Structure formats: C-alpha cells, structure tokens
Structure 1
Amino acid sequence: MTWLQENPDVHTIRVAASDLNGVARGKRLGRRFADKVLDEGTRFPLSVLNLDIWGEDIDDSPLVFADGDPDGVALPTERGYLPMPWLSAPTALLPMWMFREDGRPFGGDPRHALARVLGRFRALGLTPVVGTELEFYVIDDRGPILRVPPSPRSGKRRPGAEILSLRALDAFDEFFTEIYDGCEAMDIPADTAISEAGIGQFEVNLNHVPDALKAADDAWLFKLLVRGIARSHGFAASFMAKPYEDYSGNGMHVHFSLLDRDGRNVFDDGGPEGSDIFRNAVAGCLAAMPGSALLFFPHGNSYDRLVPEAHAPTGVAWGYENRTAALRIPAGSAKARRIEHRVAGGDVNPYLMLAAILGAALIGIEDKLEPVAPITGNAYEQDLAQLPGTWAEAIDAFEADPLIARILPEELIRNYVATKRQELRYVAELTEQEKVDLYLDTV
C-alpha cells in the first residue's frame, strides 16, 4: 500500500525542488493528479532554480530570455510522498529534482551537484557518512524589535541565554514535541536538542546516515518543518545567520567519515591521529575553504556572524578537540574517527554545503594532499590564513577558484555567481530592518 493510500485524508499535494538558495520552489496540485506526477513528474522552467532571494529572475541569466526560458522536467526524488505537519489541512509534499528535456540532470540543480560528487566517491568504493547540527532561533517578530517569544507555559519572556538549559527546552516543550513528531513522520533522524548561547536559540542534531543525499534532504526538510511549526505557534523560527547583533549566530556543523566497501571507517588507523586518507581529506577541506566560503556564507547577513570569539571560525585551521578551529577532530573511539566542519552558517543550502565539503575532501584524497600542522589553543589569537570577510570577496574567490571548478558543474557556478552578484547589488540598498525582514523566514 502506498503512503497516499495509507493517508486518505490528504486532499492536496505540493511538488517542490530546492533552488540555489535552498528555497522550496514548486506547485500545489489536487490529489487526483498524485499518481501521474509520481510516475511522470511535472514541468518547471529551468530558471526557477536560479531565482534570487526575492524570487526574481536573474537579470543576465542565459536561462531566461537568451534560451527562451525553457521548461525542464521535475521528477520525484527517491524520498516519495511526505506529510506536511505544519499545515492545518492534511497535505503531502513530493520532493523533486530537475532534468533537461533529453533526460540529462540539470546542471543548475543543487541536489544534482551533490549527487555528482557522491558518484565520484562511489567510483573509489567510498561512502560518506554524514550528520548535521542545525542551530536556529525562536523569535517574536510581531513588533519592530525582535524578541524571544513568551514561554507558552509561563507566559514570561526570558531575556538571557541559557546554554544547555532544560528550563529553556521545557518552556517550549509542545513546540519541540511537534518537531520530533514531524521528524518521525517525515523520516528525519532528529536526535538531541539543546538550548544554545543566544536568547531563544536552540540546536537539533540529525543522526549520521550513510547517504549524504538523504542527509541533505533531511536538513532541507527539517528547516521547512521547523519554520512551519513555529508559525503555527505564533512565532518565527529562523536559521538566519545573525538575527541579533549581540548574540551568537546560527551555524550548521557537519560531521563526516568515509566507509570502504566492507563498511570500515577509512579515517580510523587504530590510534588517536587518524589515517593517511583522513589527513588527505582534512587537507582538501582546508585548501578549498576560501573558495567555498560563498556556499558557507551565502547571504548579506551571513558575514555579520563572522565575529572573533563568537564560535564562528574566521581562520583556516584544524585541530583535535578544538572548537575554535574551522575543522575540529572530535575525541572518542578511533572507530568513530571523523571530521567536524564548523564553518557554515544556518542559512546555507544543505545540498551545496555538503557538495563543497565532501568535494573538497575528495580532492584531498585524489591529490594525496597533506595538511599543515593542527593547531592548539585559541584559533582567533593565531596568525592564520583568513576566510573571505565580505560578500564581494567571497563571490570573487568562488568564481576564480580552480578547486571549485573540480567540485561543481560550470553551469551551476555561472548561475550562482550571477545570483549572488544581483543580490549583492540590491541588498546594499536595504535598511537593516529590511534585511531582517528579507532573511528571517527565507533562509
């Protein structure tokens, strides 16, 4: 029996794909079209996946007028139909990805970019195992000043940050219960939730899975779920990189390791330092980090998060059990040896973020790169190569980096640069309040 047959109360469906900014673009359909779209897909203009953050066409995009704004074929991913627990009426979501008319994957689709990287891993007999940690704020945005929402239990606002506070979690217990119920229904492997360093800031970890496409799907769907459930409770949940000037920004950390064909973690050499291939992967991630910064910090607000001593890495470095480094190597069993990539903000597109991280690690492995020595102590106090500090610098670095050209399709690089240059021009004209209004719910 299919999922829709098991859920006869569902009368409408959504079909949606991720654009370059991670925004869901798609259509609403009646249930009677469900079988057809599942079997045949539907049609979107290819340019839909290359819109700016406002949902506008890119002025100089070859996908629009130069090519006649042609359609592509959006086909269902392997995820199939999923519930949308944040809507009042029972509704199904069918995640899609885009193909050209002749059946080729559309090079401007971020999910295809990640799949392309994973195909290269498969050719080497390697499987990435990926877990993500997503930070977000719950925010009362009904007035001109952003505030923490009143607790649904007490009706009081708690203005202070409460790191790992059960009281902070319990204050929003019904909200988190609905998130975990929704994750269960959508097959999102939500694990622990904690309160974080900002007012109304929380983090939810998604368990490691040996399928990086699913990990990216999970993160993308989780953001849709959390934002939707928050609005049903009368407040916002925001993955915006820096909603509050005086509090920590939102990050999205990634843990990954690699399995060989026998299921063995190739980062494990039986000791605390890790294997040769582990060091190669570290070196690749470090080498591609400056050019990848635009994918880790994709928006105008992203650069407000890059403040020293605020848990957002600004220098290119790695270290064992060191949370000030861009790459942290967690302690613990050698069998679980892995890399924690701590650079990206919560406002990223998960598909592009994972494509950049895993693609960089793959380059390190292919080229047998060796990393610089790991750091000890406070990375912010050391003389390190720095990540791009402005949006314009990051765009230029991304466009020119030959390592990025080895990771992403040429079409996606061209489209992404055009998108970000258009956004850079128009965001510069906005007030700070307008920037908050733009990013709070969209990223």
Structure 2
Amino acid sequence: MAKKKAQKDAASSLRGVANVEEARAWVAARGIEELECVVPDQAGVARGKIMPASKFFNSPAMNLPSSIFHQTIAGEYPDEDMPGAGDPADADLVLVPDFSTLCVVPWANDPTAQLIHDCYHRDGRPIEVAPRQLLRRIVELYAHKGWRAMVAPEIEFYLVKPNTDPDYPLEPPVGRSGRPETGRQSYSISAVNEFDDLFEDIYDFSEAQGLEIDTLIHEEGAAQMEINLRHGDPLQLADQVFMFKRTIREAALVHNIYATFMAKPIAGQPGSAMHIHQSVVDSEGQNIFSDEHGKPTPEFFNFIAGQQKYLPSVMCILAPYVNSYRRLTKDATAPINVAWGYDNRTTGLRVPPAGAEARRVENRVPSSDANPYLAIAASLACGYLGMQEGLQPTEPVEGSAHGLDYDLPRGLLEAVSNLEENEALRGIFGETFVQTYAAIKRGEYETFMRVISPWEREFLLLNV
C-alpha cells in the first residue's frame, strides 16, 4: 500500500522522482511517448539519446562514447598525442539516470520527458572529467567538513534577430512596438514588456519543468535580460541553469528570435555574466559566515581571500572561450580584478547587503557562456581552499575598482596555463580533468586562429 501511494505521489510531481518504479508511474500518468536521456558535456551542451519510453524502461544499461567529454565547441577533438586527448579506442561510458531531474519537455511536439544522466566507467567509477561529477567532488569536500555550500546563480543573456550568416554582426530583435531597442534600458519594465509573449512562454515552460525563477529584469544592454534563481544546493542549481539555458533558447525560437549566452555578442554593448551568490551552512543550517552576534566570521574572510587567490587560476573555466575575454575590459562594466567590497558592483567579489543569516559572497567574474557545473565547482573550490589555508583578504574597495590593475588573465591561453600550473587546484580537480580541459581549450583556440576577423581586414589589408 505504501509503495502504491509513493508512486501516486510521484506521478503528480512536476519534477523528479525517487526511483525507476516511480519514474514508470510518472511517465504513464502523462502519456509520455519519448524520453530524452541527457548528459551535460564540457561546454554545457546537452548530449545523449532520444528513445521511446517503453524502450527506456525495458532496455539494459545505456552507453555513450567517451569522446563526448573531449569534444570542442566546434565539434572537433584534441590531437591524439596531447595529454588529456582521451581514450584512443573511444570506449563506451555507462549512463545512470538521476531520477530527481525527470521532467517534461514542454516545447516538444509529442509528449516527451527529459532526464539528466551521470556517466561511469564499466567498473562503477565516476567519469573524472564529467562536469556533473566534478561539481559533486567539490560539494563532497564541503560535506567532509560538516558544511553545505549554497548558491544562487544569476544568468544574463541577449535576445537578437535571427542571424544565419556569422559574417554579419548581431542586432537587437523587433518587439511588439515594431522597433528594436537602440539605447540601454536598465531595469526598464516597458523594455521587458516588448517581449511579453516570449517571457510568458519562458515562465510557462519553466513551470511545466518545475524550475523556479526568482526574478526577471532587463539588464544594461539592448534587449539584454537577466533571470535570477533561488538559492539552494549547488548540483540542483547547476541542473536548473543547464535546463534554463535550453528553455530560454527554445522559447525564443518559437518567436523567431535567438537567445544567446555569448559573453560579448555585440560590440559596444555590455557583456553577459553568470553571477554566483555563495554561502556555506553547517549541519544545523546555520550560516558559517556569521557568528552568534551576527558579525562576520573568520571563515567569511577566508572564503573571500580564497577567491582572490585562486580565481585567476580558474578563469579558463569561468571565461571558457576567446570571446569571453572581450567582456573583461576596462571600458566595460564587468570586473577586471579580484578586489572585493561591500555592495560594490565594480569589484569582482561583492558582498551584497543582507542580514546575518543571508551573508554571502557574490562572484561577479564568470561569464554567461560558462558551463554552470564547472563554474560553480571552480568558484566553490576557490573559497574552500581559502578556508582550508586560513587566507586573509585585502582591504575592501570603496568607490570604483575599474581603475585598479588587472588581476585576471587577458586571454584564453594564459588562463589555461594558470590552471595547469596551480598545484592546489590540480589536487582538487584531479590531473585527468585538468589535462582534458586544457586540451579542449587549446584545441578551440587553434580553431579560432583559422578564422580571419573583420579587424584584420579593416586595418591590415591595405596598410601593412
């Protein structure tokens, strides 16, 4: 009787069940015909298989080639002789479903559900380079100390006209007024209302998947938006960002608009970030950044100092593409260093105004193009190392930090070298992950170098 009640309760859930029996009941209750079995790759792209629901429940273990975690964003692979290039035999990985992520695919034509999977070796070991597994690894470091990390991501993105020729610049889309935005409309309600139908679809799609949006605002750029998520468990929030990106893109396509999470999609406009609010609680749910009197604790300052010391070494994760570094310039609103301050949006690390129970550190460095699993893992790893090493931060900055020197690498190759040379981070992430990720990023850089840019044609064609 208890088993039947559990299955009935699970069948009514919008998102997530406990096991395969409950999943079977959930799928049957909705008449689901197909299941998307999804794995987030190094870029945060959804890889996997689509299969009939009946086959999913009746088939043996599912497999994918190990190369899915070695593919560049351009669909290429690092040279086989490079460290971290992957298994030359491209052996299969074993996929294991995480039934807590089961939800519908609301934009599908036929009744369809999606389910995020984890990847393992055939002997049961987790795949070391899988982004979801890396985040679990960092979360477990906190758990061994009796702590739970908490995060709340904020994701910025642009709406743009459909662009089928990459040689042409992106442009803002036309809203209900019949005119595209020309100026910046920070926090404008009317600018959001230009795309009311689109945002209604985003909210409807999100609700159908059990995803919770905290707020939606218009950001600084023309047709640049931001969605904020509620704070919670790092893995669950990374799953939500992963699914939100897909949801926003799909909703935009319904309205013949592109949604892009490029860090710097339009010249002369602000870049797009993925700010990560971070705090840590103990086994009783008390924020360890505040003491019994509501004052900041040593751990709070240690966490900030860890971010200051180690964020420059994880920049190839937080800013993973050549384009990402176009956002991090002195003439932009993005941070260029790891200074910190109280309620200071010019610093890389901001302490928002909040009560003692909500004391947190906002990492404003990551760009919106970052893989959410890897970015959250990297950011939390930096804070963890600061607490482990008892580091002390610099003095908080008052006023603008944009006049200060660069603390962050200026380009992708420098950022990759920073990660490879940092022993503490290699120890936390594992040598296999660092080698693999570095090989992918260098491969992407080589692809970029094969493209001749408009700048080169403009200033070099007839002048050199």
Closer/same/farther in 2, CA of residues 251 and 277 from structure 1, 3 Å limit: same
Contact 1:41–1:74, Cα closer than 8 Å, also in 2: yes
Closer/same/farther in 2, CA of residues 385 and 310 from structure 1, 3 Å limit: closer
Contact 2:366–2:375, Cα closer than 8 Å, also in 1: yes
Q: Which moved more, 1:67-76 or 1:141-150?
A: 141-150
Closer/same/farther in 2, CA of residues 398 and 253 from structure 1, 3 Å limit: same
Match of 1:436 in 2: none
Question: Which runs of no fewer than 5 residues in structure 1 stay unpaired?
Answer: 434-443
- Which residue identity is paired with 2:383? A
Contact 1:360–1:407, Cα closer than 8 Å, also in 2: no
Contact 1:256–1:338, Cα closer than 8 Å, also in 2: yes
Q: Which moved more, 1:269-278 or 1:227-236?
A: 269-278
Among 177, 181, 195, the alignment partner of 2:218 is 195
Match of 2:14 in 1: none
Match of 2:417 in 1: 396
Match of 1:342 in 2: 364
Secondary structure in structure 2 of the residue aligned to 1:376: coil
Q: CA deviation at 1:55?
A: 2.1
Match of 1:323 in 2: 345
Match of 1:85 in 2: 106
Closer/same/farther in 2, CA of residues 365 and 41 from structure 1, 3 Å limit: farther
Q: Distance in 2 between matches of 1:409 and 1:202?
A: 36
Tell me the alpha carbon deviations over residues 120-155 of structure 1, each in whole angstroms, 9 at most, x when there is no partner: 11111101111000000001034634211111x333
Among 172, 176, 180, the alignment partner of 1:148 is 172
Contact 1:20–1:49, Cα closer than 8 Å, also in 2: yes
Q: Distance in 2 between matches of 1:385 and 1:314?
A: 5
Closer/same/farther in 2, CA of residues 119 and 170 from structure 1, 3 Å limit: same
Is 2:200 the counterpart of 1:177? yes
Q: Distance in 2 between matches of 1:63 and 1:364?
A: 28
Contact 1:162–1:198, Cα closer than 8 Å, also in 2: yes
Is 2:301 the counterpart of 1:279? yes
Secondary structure in structure 2 of the residue aligned to 1:149: coil
Contact 2:67–2:87, Cα closer than 8 Å, also in 1: no
Is 2:315 the counterpart of 1:260? no
Q: CA deviation at 1:106?
A: 0.4
Alignment TM-score, normalising by the size of structure 1: 0.92
Q: Distance in 2 between matches of 1:238 and 1:65?
A: 30
Among 30, 34, 52, the alignment partner of 1:7 is 30
Q: Which moved more, 1:56-65 or 1:275-284?
A: 56-65
Match of 1:427 in 2: 448
Is 2:78 the counterpart of 1:58? yes
Q: Distance in 2 between matches of 1:107 and 1:204?
A: 31
Match of 2:230 in 1: 207
- Which residue identity is paired with 1:150? V
Is 2:186 the counterpart of 1:166? no
Tell me the alpha carbon deviations over residues 144-197 of structure 1, each in whole angstroms, 9 at most, x when there is no partner: 34211111x333222222111111111111111111122222222211100011
Contact 1:360–1:403, Cα closer than 8 Å, also in 2: no
Closer/same/farther in 2, CA of residues 20 and 239 from structure 1, 3 Å limit: same
Q: Distance in 2 between matches of 1:332 and 1:271?
A: 15
Closer/same/farther in 2, CA of residues 225 and 35 from structure 1, 3 Å limit: same
Is 2:390 the counterpart of 1:387? no
Q: CA deviation at 1:272?
A: 7.4
Q: Distance in 1 between matches of 2:262 and 2:348?
A: 20
Closer/same/farther in 2, CA of residues 348 and 46 from structure 1, 3 Å limit: same
Match of 1:237 in 2: 259
Match of 2:8 in 1: none
Note the 1:113-152 alignment, pairs <5 A: 113-142=134-163, 144-151=168-175
Closer/same/farther in 2, CA of residues 128 and 195 from structure 1, 3 Å limit: same
Closer/same/farther in 2, CA of residues 52 and 142 from structure 1, 3 Å limit: closer
Q: Distance in 2 between matches of 1:374 and 1:337?
A: 16
Alignment TM-score, normalising by the size of structure 2: 0.88
Q: Distance in 2 between matches of 1:138 and 1:271?
A: 46
Q: CA deviation at 1:77?
A: 1.9
Closer/same/farther in 2, CA of residues 65 and 226 from structure 1, 3 Å limit: closer
Runs of 4+ in 1 over 3 A off after TM superposition: 61-67, 142-145, 270-273
Tell me the alpha carbon deviations over residues 369-413 of structure 1, each in whole angstroms, 9 at most, x when there is no partner: 11121111111112x451000111111111111232133121111
Closer/same/farther in 2, CA of residues 48 and 62 from structure 1, 3 Å limit: farther
- The total of aligned residue pairs comes to 427
Q: CA deviation at 1:200?
A: 0.7
Contact 2:184–2:222, Cα closer than 8 Å, also in 1: yes
Question: Which runs of no fewer than 5 residues in structure 2 stay unpaired?
Answer: 1-10, 12-24, 455-464
Q: Distance in 2 between matches of 1:227 and 1:291?
A: 31
- Which residue identity is paired with 2:151? V
Match of 1:438 in 2: none
Is 2:426 the counterpart of 1:411? no
Closer/same/farther in 2, CA of residues 12 and 231 from structure 1, 3 Å limit: same
Closer/same/farther in 2, CA of residues 88 and 160 from structure 1, 3 Å limit: farther
Q: Distance in 2 between matches of 1:4 and 1:62?
A: 43
- Which residue identity is paired with 1:357? S
Closer/same/farther in 2, CA of residues 41 and 268 from structure 1, 3 Å limit: farther
Q: CA deviation at 1:92?
A: 1.3
Secondary structure in structure 2 of the residue aligned to 1:380: coil
Q: Distance in 1 between matches of 2:182 and 2:295?
A: 42
Q: Distance in 2 between matches of 1:375 and 1:271?
A: 25
Secondary structure in structure 1 of the residue aligned to 2:100: coil
Tell me the alpha carbon deviations over residues 397-440 of structure 1, each in whole angstroms, 9 at most, x when there is no partner: 1111123213312111111000011111111112448xxxxxxx
Contact 1:76–1:97, Cα closer than 8 Å, also in 2: yes
